[in-house]
């Protein structure tokens, strides 16, 4: 799990990067929860997502936002963190020029940043959003949502009531050709304290379908 230091907008960004065996393997960038509340790239949900994408043959990267761990800078309420994420994705793509697709995954604050980045980066094929903070953060920038993806939420999430996520998805699902799946994990809290394995199992099931090779089109003549 090589440590990588890259040049970010406010100085160095501390990262962990695992290359893929195949040159054309997909890439995935994993974003951690609230930097101002102790969130780091070593958060257990973030780390579990990183490990799962790695196990599927992705070239995968996670990193600390500015002001976290050994990353330089200070917390910037999302604006600077979005720039950090864009820089990290640039680096990830530069290491994998033959990659066939790009994914983004985030937990809580990280999912909010990830979905903003998705609006700016048309190469992002899909997303995994774990407990998006729909009750406290503005998602109106998703107009429309440019890619299909999965939102996972805990049934017993006291920080972000599940109904706020359902309302968010209702707004996102109006775009033709984009499908947003919602999976509510029974009994799980905001941090998936005793439900990490079921959460990752749902990610796995979703990727099984999303990564299937589309059948070749029939000849026109």
Q: What is the pLDDT of residues 44-99, one digit of tens each?
A: 999 999 999 999 999 999 999 999 999 999 999 999 999 999 999 999 999 999 99
Q: Which stretch of DSSP H or E encloses residue 209?
A: helix 196-210
DSSP letters of 19-63?
Answer: --SSTT--EEEEE-S-GGGT--TT-HHHHHHHHHHHHTT-EEEEE
Assigned fold of 3-207? Rossmann fold (3.40.50)
pLDDT at position 174? 64
Q: What are phi and psi of 16, to 5 degrees?
A: -125, 130
- 90, 8 contact by CB (below 8 A): no
Nearest to 14 by CA among 37, 50, 42: 42
Which residues pair with residue 17 across a beta bridge? 61
Cβ burial of 60 (10 Å; 0-12, 13-18, 19+) is buried
How far, in Å, CA of 83 to CA of 156, rounded? Answer: 32
Of 48, 50, 43, 58, whose CA–CA distance to 16 is shortest? 50
Q: Where are the domains of the chain?
A: 3-207
71, 42 Cβ separation under 8 angstroms: no
pLDDT band per the 50, 70, 90 thresholds, residue 176: low
Burial class of residue 208 (count of CB atoms within 10 Å of its CB; 0-12, 13-18, 19+)? exposed
Averaged pLDDT for residues 6-11: 97
Q: Look at residue 172 in the predicted model and tell me its pLDDT.
A: 73
Cβ atoms 85, 29 nearer than 8 A? yes
pLDDT digits (tens, 9 = 90+) for 90-139: 999 999 999 989 999 999 999 999 999 999 999 999 999 999 999 889 88
């Amino acid at each position: 799990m090589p440590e990588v230091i890259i040049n970010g907008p406010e100085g160095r960004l501390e990262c962990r990067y695992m290359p893929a065996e195949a040159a054309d393997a997909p890439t995935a960038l994993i974003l951690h929860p609230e930097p101002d509340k102790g969130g780091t790239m070593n958060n257990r949900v973030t780390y579990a997502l990183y490990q799962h994408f790695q196990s599927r043959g992705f070239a995968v990267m996670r990193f600390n936002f500015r002001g976290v761990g050994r990353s330089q800078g200070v917390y910037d309420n999302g604006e600077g963190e979005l720039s950090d994420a864009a820089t990290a994705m640039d680096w990830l793509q530069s290491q994998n020029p033959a990659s066939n697709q790009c994914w983004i995954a985030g937990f809580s604050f990280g999912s909010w940043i990830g979905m903003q980045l998705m609006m700016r980066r048309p190469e992002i094929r899909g997303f995994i959003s774990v407990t998006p903070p729909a009750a406290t953060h503005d998602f109106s920038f998703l107009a429309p949502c440019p890619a299909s993806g999965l939102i996972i939420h805990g049934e017993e999430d006291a920080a972000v009531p599940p109904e706020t996520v359902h309302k968010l998805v209702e707004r996102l699902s109006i775009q033709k050709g984009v499908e947003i799946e919602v999976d509510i994990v029974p009994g799980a809290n905001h941090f998936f304290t005793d439900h990490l394995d079921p959460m990752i199992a749902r990610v796995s099931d979703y990727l099984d379908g999303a990564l299937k090779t589309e059948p070749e089109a029939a000849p026109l003549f």
